[in-house]
Amino acid sequence: MKLEHGVTKADEAFGGKAWNVVGHTYTPKLHSDAAFLWHAAIPADTFVPPHIHPFQDEWIYMLDGELEVEFGAEKHVAGAGDMVRMPKGVAHGIFNRSGVSASCTFGVAPAGKLFDLFGVLDGVIDPEELVRLSAAHDVNFLPPPE
């Protein structure tokens, strides 16, 4: 898919879609073969378990609130204006332990299968199904700790 010129307005979603994924609201803003960007509203006490993108670099630009990002035992806190870098092949988990909602923009390059994954994950609450669908779309969740 080629990037098309234009503006995705603040209150709009690219392609008119938004998804509920692991309790977060993801609103796509840009999608091409080269990159995929989405706005995320992340409620307090929600998280994305540790996972790996084998083919995509990922990043988060924080707009409001605070997130903790874990790379194994290494923990980082990101607040408004901070950029989180998550290289392909590096396991990372994202946690909102701040007690308030957070708002940020995520991106991946290349886009890969992530746009399609969010469509099939919309509203999925069964962890095993989430892991299965994600693996089929090149996102590999790590097993839970003992």
pLDDT digits (tens, 9 = 90+) for 46-94: 999 999 999 999 999 999 999 999 999 999 999 999 999 999 999 999 9
| Contact criterion met (CB below 8 Å) for 38 and 116 | no
- At residue 89, the pLDDT reads 98
**Is the per-residue pLDDT at 146 higher than 80?**
no
Closest residue by Cα to residue 131 from 43, 70, 52: 52
Q: pTM for the full model?
A: 0.95
Domains of the chain: 16-133 (2.60.120.10)
- Cα separation, 67 vs 47, in Å, equals 9
Query: Is residue 25 over pLDDT 90?
Result: yes
The confidence score (pLDDT) of residue 144 equals 75
In angstroms, rounded to a whole number, what is the distance separating the alpha carbons of residues 117 and 109?
Answer: 15
Question: Would you say 119 and 19 are in contact if contact means Cβ atoms under 8 Å apart?
Answer: yes
Q: What is the pLDDT of residues 31-59, one digit of tens each?
A: 999 999 999 999 999 999 999 999 999 99
Q: Report the alpha-carbon angle 90-102-92, nearest 5.
A: 10
The whole-angstrom separation of Cα 58 and Cα 85 is: 6
